[in-house]
Every structure is written in C-alpha cells, then in structure tokens.
Structure 1
Amino acid sequence: MQKKDISFEDNYHYPFTLTQKEFLIIDSQKKMDEVFNLIHQKNQGNRYAAIPTVMENETYIIIKPHLKNSNDVIIENINLNKNILYIKIKEFENPDFSKRSRISPNILLKLLDRILIKKIIMKH
C-alpha cells in the first residue's frame, strides 16, 4: 500500500492539556463530548465552543507536537501508510499564546476520512 494523502481541517489549537498521551483518537460522540467537557472546564471566558458531531466518514484526533523554538505549529500535510499517520508540521509564533510558552499545544484535527490509526509520527 502506498502513502495516501489525507484531507483535513485544523479545527483549533488549545494552550492546555487535553490528553496525557501524545495523541488521542476521537472515534465516537461520547469521546468527543468528554473532550469538550474538559475544554469547557479549562477554557476561560463565558462562551462555550460548539461540540462537533462525529460523522461516520471522518475521524477526529488531538495531537501534541513537541515544540523546539516556538509556541505553536502549522500542520502542513498529513498522509497515511500502513495505518501509520504521518503529520508534517512547521513551527511558528502564535500571537494568541504567550511568547514564553513552551507547552505543547493540543491540536484538534478533523480528518475527512474514517481511518484506522495505529501510530502517529510527527515530522518537523
């Protein structure tokens, strides 16, 4: 099987921890509700973000890329090879986050395909 490019939407970058693992696959509405319950607890302000509906033709993931010299990353592309998801990232300074912050952002991604993921590898 060859590498398959995966279409995606970069939904949101959270400046706090949503999972202790390096990534989290959200494959059910129950899991999405649990994640957003945590987001609503940690998010400061009085507006709650809308909870996405998990559809059968898409997969949501939360990733925590390691930062080197910045406070956030841009997702350049995503592809899949033998159930391993490869995510190419590029660091940048996000003006919405503290410049001194070196906490890895938790990034909610919507993959526009239902895929089985065994492992995620992030490349700078």
Structure 2
Amino acid sequence: MKSFEGLPLTLTHPDSGEVNVNDHKEIAIGHIQNIRIDGDKVICDVYITDAKAIKVLENTDVREVSVGYEPAEIEERSGKLYQINIRGNHVAVVAEGRYGSVCRLNDKKR
C-alpha cells in the first residue's frame, strides 16, 4: 500500500496505461494520500485540483475508481494465483470499475 501514497488521480485511465513525468501535468486531476485500512476496505483521502474534472464529477455519475499499477509477481498458494509486490502508478476515476460501486468516491460532507 505504501507505493500508492501520493499517487496521481486521473479521470479515466491514461491511453498509455501509466502516468509519467512527461504527461503528469496533462493527465493528473489531483492526488490521493493518507491511505489506510478500515475494516475490510482500503480508503484514502482524495484531492481534486482540476476545475474541469470537478465539473465533470459534479455533473455526471462517474464515481467508481480503478487502480493503475505496474505488473506484479505472481505467487501460487493452494492452487490459486495471487499478484504480489504491486507498485501503484495512479488511481483513475471511471464510469465502470472492475469492482463496481464497492470501489468509488464517497463525498462525505462534514
């Protein structure tokens, strides 16, 4: 989880599959931080700093999130394959993520 601290937040996954130093300014709409475990969920604080992205999120139902990461090692345990040593690259806000609405932005009013 440490590799996800401070990662860029994007609106959809980049076409290249990653955010790098050459395209960060064009692709990133904010960042994530304060990653922690809460029960059976991983949560974090999301900071959106792009005005156009804020308008898109305010005016659409796009709320699910999807993690962009570098390929990991595969480990077999009891006949099942697991990815280990994953290195995060970005977190994308998407219309439909792999895990559905379980993984989403949750705007909590204070």
Whichever structure has more helix as a proportion of its residues is 2
Q: TM-score w.r.t. structure 2 length?
A: 0.32
Higher strand share: 2
User: What is the TM-score when the length of structure 1 is the normalising length?
Assistant: 0.29
Structure having greater relative contact order (Cα 8 Å, sep ≥ 6): 1
